[in-house]
Amino acid sequence: MMQSRERQLGVLMVLVGLALLLAVLGYLPGAAFLMIFGLGFCAVYGILGGRSSYGNVGFLIPGLILLAVGSFAGLDELVADINPAYFFLFLAAAFLGVALIHTLSFRGADPGERHWPLYPAAGLVLLGTVILAQDSLGVSWAALDAINYLWVIALIGAGLWLTLRPRRENV
């Protein structure tokens, strides 16, 4: 089994090396290069067993992020004036993918381990939506200054709640 896994990783390394060589020689554009690396990380995730171990998520995360960045770069090459909000929405989709493909399937894991990718995904969707609203609806950034105060107040409130809430003793 180990020899088979080593052989698979060896083939993957040769393929990545060939992709790097093509990129250095100028035959592989940036977006395709990112996509190939993203697919490579996803392939390693699959080779190592995917969901069989929670630790395999370390290959899925960069794989999906590289695919998201490569997708945005490819779209940017095709569309002359793309809204930068889509970059954040593509990244949000990558984290949502991590949750759907991997972390949500671990029923024995604590909620933090299962749901953590949803938090950066939600933040990135919010940021992308704010940028889209600003560009699409003509909302000025000055009108969005209230958000600066709201998130600071929310941060202080959450800190006070954690500090002052009644403690449960671990018995």
- Extents of the domains making up the chain: 2-164
Instruction: For residues 124 and 116, give the distance between their C-alpha atoms in angstroms, rounded to a whole number.
Output: 13
Asked if 40 and 12 touch (Cβ cutoff 8 Å), the reply is: yes
**pLDDT-derived band of residue 151, with 50, 70 and 90 as boundaries?**
confident
Q: At residue 8, does pLDDT exceed 80? A: no
Tokens of 125: 């969707």
Instruction: For residues 44 and 112, give the distance between their C-alpha atoms in angstroms, rounded to a whole number.
Output: 25
Q: pTM of the entire structure?
A: 0.74
Tens-place pLDDT, residues 61-120: 999 999 999 999 999 988 878 888 999 999 999 999 999 999 888 887 788 888 999 999
Distances (CA, A) of 120 to 40, 45, 91, 103: 23, 21, 9, 14
